[in-house]
């Protein structure tokens, strides 16, 4: 390691560790040497021009490195990744080093101009863009092939030499954030801007959505309470509630787009140009020329991918859906059987037996969910998508459809085949409440408890001080590298999505669902915050301008809920009593109302602009300026 | 005029007249002098740097001017308007003067690098962008106020000093185009690229759509013929036909987007950056600061506009729709009355009376359509939209809804209230065929005949030569300035839209509609071509990348047609015979099928990419290159 230390001499005195790189134990010397040299090498030589420092631990492990960068390097990096910052005139502009003086809060000695999350994002971007020049392989590992332009870090990751890269927590900042976020009991908004500064836009947007969604549910919850309290059963009240619900859900989804635009404009991501996406790590193919960049990279025929999607994945998903329905039918048979058994020989044992089918079904569903998730990940990976975003979209779609069926199929069956509204209400309540409790437990409290225990053990072993902030850097790194990895907002959104389903699909049968959803979301905010701050490694910030496919998923759910609610109302005995002479008239009326509601929904979605007027004007102004600048050239 | 002649001296010897400006008779000398000076003045002085030449006619009128420009000026103008041209490497790029050598077919002496339509578009753009500097009014007309940045030409137009601006025809080119377009009887595609070169993208795209739509209808027509020939009445055959029709209409609308992308990529408009839109001529408001440009211009509160739209226009449109329905009901009453009268006292007179209600209704509808059109134009203009595009969209929406109701309300009434399929088929055929014949006559043949007569008169008066191409410039200008003005593709698209309605809304009742539509469209291509080449003034080319709102309108129609066809099939006696026991089951089945079809439609629209893969790659390549270029900076 003698040579790599020579680079340390060139460090600024105030080396600030930002990102941790953990190499596999026993990585060859020549590999480490080559890799660190590439990291510190000048841009002109194809390096990343960052700073790297080995972390010397007590037991002498040398497989952990800290990466930092000089202030100037970070500013140049901010220009490369196309960061958008606020100017002195309060407009948002793409940061360039030459125009740095025009930006708000910029000063050559202000090292807080870029947030720590931004610095870490820049370093991640620079590391991932460290590309092979004419190396044919990773030195010391002939089986890890390289070709000009291949990302070195991605190859190191896929060949297992690089165990992980993660950004360091900032203990002090985190403490402040925790305090303002969930440290004290208070009524008010979350500190979204601070969350964004610490965790990046994707996560801040998730918490923003969670908060917005909770507020948006409150009117539904408030209107729903009297239905429960006074046990209102008049159909006209239910019709009113359902109609309000359906239109309201359209409005909230449209308004969210506007709020999202306001937030992401303030954060700069709304204006951020999408960078050209590199192939995702798992992508493989024959070496060819990328038609877009003209560079050498693995190429995989899009027709082959389409064939895999439509001839393998699609049938497989359909089969799984069918199987899931089949299991549900068995469950209902079992349920019927247990009921019959209980009626025949009434005993303590038989009344216990009544619960058995539900428990078995819940367990089977959970197992099926897990297996399916693995299968979906395997299949989507096998479909060999070039882009991470397209991989994610296909995975989300697969998982979404299956989860939707698993959660709601039994409710649909009860509602539209058994016609048992009492049972529907009961099942809905049970499913909603148990799933919420289980989720909160499995997602945050359990990992938190495990984490706490682990920390205590670590602390004991290290005999270190009690308070968090006094931990030494070595201890901090050792602690954080053992923490779980946060795999993105997927599961959190999925939970919200299913909750939205419980609330809206059968809203006219169980108006209290919104109340439970609101209560759950309030604790969800706290437990998710806890999870982010305490349980997981700090995730890399990921700039994003919207919640992506989830917007579409929620909108689709709200369309489906129009249909289900109309049918439910049409089936209610009160409405049926109105149309005693002709069932045909009833169905026609319901169909007419449904089509009208759908038409109103689409018109509303069309009429409400996706961006508020002032954001539209600001965007138009920027576009106008760039056009004018082009003309001036 | 002595002074303005001095500018003529600076002309290149080969002045090519491109655009004609007609001023009002008796326009003041000082105004003409000022205006022509501004047109020829250097760019640096705020002029347009074009060439202008008065047209000296026999009777000494001096109110007509010809505008041209030097080759260099046009190339610089092409850069200003952001024209996209093909490069030597077959990629499409935004033209810049500095990179001119890299473009295909570019040579300093090749004056055909820009098509005549492009040159005329550039001149129009430059004229419209001739802006007031510190003039407070148009010299000689104190009531025609100006303010810095106001387009001079637009003010001249609104104050009536400028009668019209129009581009000149190119007799020889037009002859060639006519020959290859409709001059000979042939089977084959239209010369869309030549049409685009001569008339611009908007008109070429209309003809492209008309042609595509005709081809797309052929499968429907072919499948529809045996239903007529063999008088098939089996419900299963109708169900098959309708299902095919509904899915087919989704496919053709999606595929059109792809074909449109291919065409507009080739023409360069797909890549063309949208210029900042200036306020439309009729827009008025208090002088203020435009928040986007920061320039002084009339400002009108968007809330006031919203109020006018939602509190005046919307109720008015609804009232008109209601009135139109009311008139329809009167028509049906009259019809019934005539029938009763005929049955009571059967005579020649009474059988003649049978036709009276239809004739009255047709006349009333025509009158209502005209009045409504004026009202819609007045209202939309009163709504005071800042942009021409937004004005057009609001106008199209208003006219579309009313025309839809006028055309189809009686059919809906016959189908879903009277339940008379025989009458529906008969009315559909009558409406479709008569509207087609009337349209072709009123739209092209009548104006053509009038035009021909007028030309003959003109020729006689001028005692000029017989053949078209030998006409002198003076005669050509005098002839063309009297020709009608083509007001854009609105009416042509509207006709196609209504035709699409006749074909798809009731396709399962009258499969022959597609056959008539195909026949009509084949002659429509010829009559529209005739209209463009012979009847109207040459219109200015208008770059466009798609057919705009019409895509949405056609898609909406295809959604509505799913609903109508499902209901029609559900009402057919054959299907009813299948569900003799329970009418409820029938309706539920129909509703289920309808929802399934709608779901399939939306999924298909989602799955079929809007742009073909190679266009996507070409666009991505351009984006990648511009990102790389930014990085190099």
CB B471, CB B479: distance < 8 Å: yes
Q: How many Å separate Cα A138 from the centre of its chain?
A: 33
For B291, which of A273, A621, A631 is closest by C-beta distance? A621
pLDDT greater than 50 at residue B6: no
**Interface with chain B: mutation pick from A292, A317, A560, A576, highest number of B CBs within 10 Å:** A292
Q: Is the dihedral of CA B346, B348, B354, B356 positive or negative?
A: negative
**Interface with chain B: mutation pick from A582, A630, A631, A632, highest number of B CBs within 10 Å:** A630
**pLDDT-wise least confident of A268-272, A610-614, B92-96, B273-277:** B273-277
pLDDT tens readout for residues A242-259 = 888 888 888 999 999 999
How far is the C-alpha of B45 from the C-alpha of A548, rounded, in Å? 50
- The pLDDT value recorded for residue A1 is 34
Angular region, A116: left φ>0, alpha ψ -120 to 50, beta rest: alpha
How far is the C-alpha of A233 from the C-alpha of A227, rounded, in Å? 8
- The pLDDT value recorded for residue B510 is 83
CB contact under 8 A, A620 and B292: yes
For residue A189, report the phi and psi dihedrals to the nearest 5 degrees: -80, 160
For the residues B337-347, what does the mean pLDDT come to? 86
Question: Chain B contact for A273, CB < 8 A?
Answer: yes
pLDDT greater than 60 at residue B71: yes
More confident residue, A433 or A19: A19
**What are the residues whose beta carbons fall under 8 Å from the beta carbon of A262, sequence distance 6 or more?**
A612, A615
pLDDT greater than 90 at residue B493: yes
- Rounded to a whole number of angstroms, the distance from the CA of A23 to the nearest CA of chain B is 32
CB A420, CB A336: distance < 8 Å: no
How far is the C-alpha of A378 from the C-alpha of A149, rounded, in Å? 27
Please identify which residue in the block is written with the tokens 């669902």: A513
pTM listed for this prediction: 0.88
- The pLDDT value recorded for residue B60 is 63
How far is the C-alpha of A76 from the C-alpha of A114, rounded, in Å? 11
For B583, which of A563, A584, A595 is closest by C-beta distance? A584
For the residues A568-588, what does the mean pLDDT come to? 82
- The pLDDT value recorded for residue B3 is 35
- The pLDDT value recorded for residue A59 is 64
How far is the C-alpha of B151 from the C-alpha of B153, rounded, in Å? 6
How far is the C-alpha of B503 from the C-alpha of B450, rounded, in Å? 33
pLDDT band at A57, cuts 50/70/90? low
How far is the C-alpha of A528 from the C-alpha of A525, rounded, in Å? 5
- The pLDDT value recorded for residue B265 is 93
How far is the C-alpha of B264 from the C-alpha of B393, rounded, in Å? 21
Please identify which residue in the block is written with the tokens 């005999």: A463
What residues 517-556 of chain A have any CB closer than 8 A to a CB of chain B?
A: none
Q: Which residue of chain B comes nearest to A91, CA vs CA?
A: B292
pLDDT greater than 80 at residue B457: no
For the residues B142-154, what does the mean pLDDT come to? 85
CB A122, CB A74: distance < 8 Å: yes
Residues of A in contact with B149 (CB under 8 A): none
How far is the C-alpha of A486 from the C-alpha of A199, rounded, in Å? 11
**pLDDT-wise least confident of A274-278, A504-508, B420-424:** A274-278
pLDDT tens readout for residues A456-479 = 776 665 554 444 444 678 888 888
- The pLDDT value recorded for residue A460 is 64
H/E stretch holding B592 reads helix B583-607
CB B246, CB B601: distance < 8 Å: yes
Residues of B in contact with A275 (CB under 8 A): 627
Task: State the average pLDDT for chain B.
Answer: 85
CB contact under 8 A, B273 and A620: no
Please identify which residue in the block is written with the tokens 């439609």: B601
CB contact under 8 A, B275 and A613: no
Please identify which residue in the block is written with the tokens 């760019």: B43
Tokens representing residue A19 in the block: 């990102």
pLDDT tens readout for residues B384-425 = 998 888 898 999 999 999 999 988 998 999 888 888 888 888
Tokens representing residue A508 in the block: 């006219």
Q: Which residue of chain A comes nearest to B563, CA vs CA?
A: A595
For B591, which of A291, A591, A613 is closest by C-beta distance? A591
Task: State the average pLDDT for chain A.
Answer: 85
How far is the C-alpha of A227 from the C-alpha of A234, rounded, in Å? 10
- The pLDDT value recorded for residue B59 is 64
Neighbour-count burial for B19-28, b at 16+ CB within 10 Å, e otherwise: bbbbbeeebe
pLDDT tens readout for residues A124-158 = 989 988 888 888 889 888 888 888 778 888 889 88
For the residues A271-287, what does the mean pLDDT come to? 78
CB contact under 8 A, A595 and B563: yes
How far is the C-alpha of B163 from the C-alpha of A150, rounded, in Å? 64
Burial of A618 (0-12, 13-18, 19+ CB in 10 A): buried
For the residues A278-294, what does the mean pLDDT come to? 82
Query: What spatial distance separates the first Cα and last Cα of chain B, rounded to whole Å?
Result: 51
pLDDT greater than 60 at residue A575: yes
Please identify which residue in the block is written with the tokens 């408890």: A449
- The pLDDT value recorded for residue A458 is 67
For the residues A330-347, what does the mean pLDDT come to? 88
Residue B257: CA atoms inside 13 Å, Cβ hemisphere, count? 21
More confident residue, A320 or A182: A320
**pLDDT-wise least confident of A366-370, A470-474, B189-193:** A470-474
CB A272, CB A290: distance < 8 Å: no
How far is the C-alpha of B30 from the C-alpha of B41, rounded, in Å? 16
Neighbour-count burial for A103-135, b at 16+ CB within 10 Å, e otherwise: beebeeeeeebbbbbbbbbbbbbbbbbbbbeeb
- The pLDDT value recorded for residue A478 is 82
Please identify which residue in the block is written with the tokens 């109508």: B564
Mean pLDDT comparison of A435-439, A446-450, B82-86, B183-187, highest-scoring range: B82-86
How far is the C-alpha of B447 from the C-alpha of B435, rounded, in Å? 17
For the residues B132-146, what does the mean pLDDT come to? 87
Tokens representing residue A132 in the block: 């092979």
- The pLDDT value recorded for residue B63 is 85
Pairing mode, strands A64-68 and A92-94: unpaired
How far is the C-alpha of B462 from the C-alpha of B150, rounded, in Å? 41
How far is the C-alpha of B396 from the C-alpha of B149, rounded, in Å? 30
How far is the C-alpha of A169 from the C-alpha of A165, rounded, in Å? 13
**What are the residues whose beta carbons fall under 8 Å from the beta carbon of B515, sequence distance 6 or more?**
B221, B224, B225, B228
**What are the residues whose beta carbons fall under 8 Å from the beta carbon of B480, sequence distance 6 or more?**
B20, B166, B168, B169, B537, B538
SS3 per residue for B290-322: CCCCCCEEEECCHHHHHHHHHHHHHHHHHHHHH
Q: How many Å separate Cα B240 from the centre of its chain?
A: 35
Mean pLDDT comparison of A303-317, A335-349, B134-148, B361-375, highest-scoring range: A303-317
For the residues B199-217, what does the mean pLDDT come to? 93
Q: How many residues does chain B have?
A: 633
What residues 314-353 of chain B have any CB closer than 8 A to a CB of chain A?
A: none
How far is the C-alpha of B154 from the C-alpha of B278, rounded, in Å? 11
CB contact under 8 A, A563 and B617: no
Q: What is the DSSP string of B169-213?
A: P-HHHHHHHHIIIIIS---S---HHHHHHHH-HHHHHHHHHHHHH
pLDDT greater than 90 at residue B383: yes
pLDDT tens readout for residues A387-431 = 888 898 999 999 999 999 988 998 999 888 888 888 888 888 888
């Amino acid at each position: 390691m003698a040579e790599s230390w020579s680079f340390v001499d060139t460090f600024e005195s105030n080396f600030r560790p930002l990102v941790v790189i953990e190499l596999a134990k026993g990585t060859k010397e020549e590999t480490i040497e080559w890799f660190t040299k590439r990291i510190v090498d000048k841009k002109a030589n194809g390096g990343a021009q960052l700073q790297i420092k080995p972390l010397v631990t007590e037991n002498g492990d040398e497989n952990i490195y800290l990466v930092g960068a000089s202030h100037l390097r970070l500013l140049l990096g901010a220009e490369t990744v196309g960061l958008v910052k606020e100017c002195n005139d309060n407009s948002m502009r793409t940061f360039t080093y030459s125009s740095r003086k025009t930006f708000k809060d910029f000063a050559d000695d202000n090292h807080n101009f870029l947030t720590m999350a931004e610095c870490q994002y820049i370093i991640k971007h620079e590391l991932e863009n460290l590309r092979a020049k004419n190396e044919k392989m990773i030195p010391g590992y002939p089986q890890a092939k390289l070709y000009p332009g291949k990302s070195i870090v991605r190859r190191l990751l896929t060949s297992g030499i690089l165990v992980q890269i993660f950004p360091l927590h900032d203990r002090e900042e985190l403490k402040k954030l925790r305090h303002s976020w969930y440290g004290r009991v208070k009524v008010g908004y979350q500190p979204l801007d601070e969350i964004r500064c610490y965790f990046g836009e994707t996560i801040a947007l998730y918490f923003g959505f969670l908060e917005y969604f909770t507020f948006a549910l409150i009117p539904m919850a408030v209107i729903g309470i009297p239905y429960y309290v006074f046990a209102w059963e008049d159909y006209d009240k239910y019709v009113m509630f359902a109609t309000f619900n359906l239109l309201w859900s359209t409005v909230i989804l449209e308004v969210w787009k506007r709020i999202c635009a306001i937030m992401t404009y303030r954060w700069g991501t709304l204006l951020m140009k999408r960078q050209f996406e590199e192939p995702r790590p798992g992508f493989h193919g024959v070496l060819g020329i990328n038609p877009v960049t003209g560079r050498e990279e693995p190429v995989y025929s899009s027709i082959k991918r389409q064939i895999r999607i439509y001839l393998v994945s699609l049938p497989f998903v359909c089969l799984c859906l069918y199987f899931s329905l089949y299991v549900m039918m068995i469950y209902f048979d079992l349920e019927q059987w247990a009921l019959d058994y209980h009626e025949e020989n009434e005993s303590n044992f038989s009344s216990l037996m009544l619960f058995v089918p539900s428990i078995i079904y819940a367990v089977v569903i959970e197992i099926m969910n897990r297996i399916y998730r693995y299968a979906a990940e395997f299949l989507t990976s096998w479909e060999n998508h070039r882009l991470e975003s397209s991989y994610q979209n296909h995975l989300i779609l697969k998982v979404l459809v299956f989860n939707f069926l698993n959660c709601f199929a039994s409710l649909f069956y009860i509602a539209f085949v058994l016609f048992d509204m009492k049972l529907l209400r009961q099942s809905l309540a049970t499913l909603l409440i148990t799933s919420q409790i289980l989720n909160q437990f499995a997602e945050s409290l359990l990992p938190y408890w495990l984490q706490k225990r682990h920390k205590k053990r670590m602390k004991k072993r290290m005999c270190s001080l009690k308070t968090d902030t006094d931990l030494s850097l070595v201890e901090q790194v050792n602690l954080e590298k053992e923490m779980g990895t946060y795999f993105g907002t997927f599961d959190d959104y999925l939970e919200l999505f299913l909750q939205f389903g419980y609330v809206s699909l059968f809203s006219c049968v169980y108006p209290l669902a919104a109340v439970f959803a609101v209560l759950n979301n309030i604790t969800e905010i706290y437990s998710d915050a806890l999870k982010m701050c305490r349980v997981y490694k700090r995730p890399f910030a990921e700039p994003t301008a919207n919640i992506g496919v989830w917007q579409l998923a929620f909108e689709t759910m709200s369309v489906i809920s129009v249909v289900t609610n109309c049918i439910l109302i049409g089936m209610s005995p009160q409405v049926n009593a109105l149309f005693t002479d002709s069932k045909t008239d009833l169905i026609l009326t319901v169909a007419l109302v449904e089509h009208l509601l759908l038409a109103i929904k689409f018109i509303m979605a069309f009429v409400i602009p996706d961006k508020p007027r002032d954001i539209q004007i600001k965007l138009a102004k920027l576009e106008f300026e760039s056009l004018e600048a082009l003309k001036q050239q």
